[in-house]
Amino acid sequence: MRKLLYLTFSMALIAALTTYAMWAADRPVGHYLSDLRIDLAVDQGTPADRGNLLGIQPELFPSDYQSSERLHRKLAAYLQKARDQGLLNEKTIVVLPEHIGTWLMVSGEKDELYQATTLKEAMNWLAASNPLKFIRALIGAQGDSRLDDAHLRMKAKGMAKDYQALFGGLAKEFQVTLVAGSIVLPEPSIIDGRLKIGGGALYNSSVVFGRDGLPIGQPQRQMHPVFDEHEVIAANGERTPSVVDTPAGRLGVLIGSDSWYPDAYRKLDAQGAKFVAVPAFVTGRGTWDKPWRGYKGLSTPGSVSLKAEELSEGQAWHHLTLTAQPPSSQAIAGMSVFLRGQFWDQGSAGQSFLSSNGQHFADGNARGARLLNLWL
């Protein structure tokens, strides 16, 4: 009798594991509808032969990330609209927002993940449908929030490959220099022209792709992650922003809150940066108009007199992003581009703006996808 019970239990367990394995391996692709429209919100300056900075503020949702092909279709539609309006040339620098590559972590997943109502529920589906990857990532997780670390780390190799193929491919397809927003990866580096990952801490990083689709220089790692990300994302210990050569001139990249630090601009000035691109992301609906929370746990630079709560989040971004405001920065132009959309229960704020001759130009309508263009 005991042997029979043991045999029955073993067979039931095998059947359950087999069913689970088949469920986890199944990746059906559901019906997809997405708004490919984008409006030119700001067009500043006069066309010349010096090129332009073109910011793309996309409106993205989890379903856009179900496959790289879907995301390519949407971003390519935005770039095609820019081309049709005469905004693309051999000296164009396209700037995409922060974390546009990070959400590649949910690419190729099951419908249940995209249909989840909260980010926590979506991450539970991510782990459940990739059990071996999740367990390996959890064992190697670092930082104070091992669960969040594991979610970001578990598909990092594939994310790096997809990120380069997608954004490098767009740069080559449209013959532009492309600042590919940012992506969170473990110790990313460019080796023999390929974006590779390491086994260390997670960094929020940005790669610039040239008109040939290849990376220019090394990934720029974020130097000052905001307080909300400290438990997962490491700060770049070198604290040196890099500058790359583009057909339009030397370009510096500051990721998100790195643009709040005057010292970052001094380091870019020392390297001869003419332009500064700021991929950015602000979470929470309505956050842009709510009181600024200050440096969010980080030390405030001595030269910054602003205090938390005395102005709005949006006003703080305009005050602290010192691009093209001499003598704070010697760059002649800059652009801050924000990610917009809805990722489960995580809304977004942020309104992209550009800087030229000490002035900021912004579009007050944050709804929908937007193009912002600055002729150099």
Task: Name which of 341, 344, 280 is nearest 314 in CA terms.
Answer: 280
Task: Name which of 72, 80, 293, 242 is nearest 162 in CA terms.
Answer: 72
Q: Residue 264 is encoded by which pair of tokens? A: 């970052």
* pLDDT recorded at residue 88: 98
Domains of the chain with CATH codes? 36-107+158-375 (3.60.110.10)
Helices marked H in 154-285: 156-163, 169-174, 262-270
* pLDDT recorded at residue 42: 94
* pLDDT recorded at residue 308: 84
Residue 35, C-beta contacts closer than 8 angstroms, at least 6 positions apart: 59, 368, 369
* pTM for this model (two decimals): 0.90
* pLDDT recorded at residue 301: 82
C-alpha neighbours within 13 Å on the C-beta side of residue 146 = 9
Q: Where are the beta strands (DSSP E) in 171-271?
A: 177-179, 183-186, 189-191, 194-196, 202-209, 215-221, 243-246, 249-253
Instruction: Give mean pLDDT in consecutive 10-residue pieces for the chain, a chain of 376 residues.
Output: 52 45 50 79 93 96 95 97 97 98 96 95 95 93 89 96 98 98 97 95 96 96 79 82 95 94 91 95 91 80 82 91 68 93 92 87 81 96
Q: Give SS3 for 261.
A: coil
Q: Calculate the alpha carbon distances from 70 to 31, 175, 368 in Å.
A: 11, 21, 18
